Amino acid sequence: MAELPEKRIDRAALERIMQRAAELQAAEADVGEGLTAAEVTALGKEVGIPARYLQQAMLEQATSVVAPAEAGLGGRLVGPTEVQAHRVVVGDPEDAARALIDWFDKNELLVVQRQQIGRVTFEPLRGMKAALRQGGAILNSSRPERMLQNVTVVGATLSKLESGYCHVTLTADLRQVRGAYIGGALAGGSMGVAGAAILGALSPFWFIAAAPLLFGGAMGWFVLKRFRPVAERSLLGLERALDYLERGGIKPSHELPPPRGTGLLEQLAGEIRRAITASSERPKPK
């Protein structure tokens, strides 16, 4: 009788298992008022966690930033005006900034707006270059889908920590797209009010005049509720960029290839080359 294949554990289940195992291990240990960094390292060594991962996790915990809650009724009903993500990664701030510039340029069509020491801001690429890049992305199916197309500005703050580590905070400004959704909701509500006023003047029955109000209110609420998924997707785009840095996207300057031209002709030639390469790598139908 053939043996049944061993059941595999997916990533989500693995994270829950590791978290629960850490809770059980910590419950057995005498934590008291807390543990020192050396004690945490020793505790992790007992369960087989490498010291460098523990060090990175402790730095991330020490530099964690809690995003402020969106104030006011509009923030609770509509959603945030900005989203923020942060991570401790291995590398220097200068190399991390260079890797972010490369990632946003290739995968999100965001270019540098301003660059200072420890701070970089990005804005959407516009004009003919943006059109060429979008056309190339349609032909190249291997390129990841954009997630930050609705942001106005993305800010990156990079701070050096211990030797070999830096803290990266990414913030995406959503005020413009949020205002557009609020404007659409107000337009729907205004149509309902105008319709109710007209029917109220023409009909003696109040419930007939109330129908446009209900319709306009429902339409406005529907428009408002569509903004929160936009904010969540933008946050996912920031987390994806940090994942790239965390997975080894940061390279020292001496390991980088020589820069290519950035003119319009070079841009067009590069998109054509990428599209041809992607189409040739696709498996042929049998």
Domain map of the chain by residue range?
A: 77-175+229-253, 177-225
269 has pLDDT over 80: no
Q: How far apart are CA 48 and CA 260, in angstroms?
A: 44
Residues 6+ apart with CB under 8 A from 199: 208, 209, 211, 212
104 versus 77: the higher-pLDDT residue is 104
CA dihedral 231, 234, 240, 245 (to 10 degrees): -110
Fold of 77-175+229-253: Alpha-D-Glucose-1,6-Bisphosphate; Chain A, domain 4 (3.30.530)
Expressed in angstroms, the distance from the first to the final Cα of the chain is: 35
Provide the residue type at 160 as one letter: K
Neighbours of 163 (CB within 10 A): 6
> What is residue 146's predicted lDDT score, i.e. its pLDDT?
87
Instruction: Give the strands of the sheet with 119-124, arranged side by side.
Output: 82-90, 165-173, 154-160, 119-124, 110-116
Answer whether 65's CB lies under 8 Å from 168's CB.
no
Q: Which residues pair with 169 in a beta bridge?
A: 86, 157
Contacts of 233 (CB under 8 A, 6+ apart): 147, 150
Q: pTM (2 decimals)?
A: 0.67
Whether 82 has a pLDDT exceeding 80, the answer reads yes
151-186 pLDDT per residue, tens = 999 999 999 887 788 999 999 999 999 999 988 888
Taken as a whole, the chain contains a residue count of: 286
What pLDDT does residue 113 have?
94
DSSP letter, residue 88: E
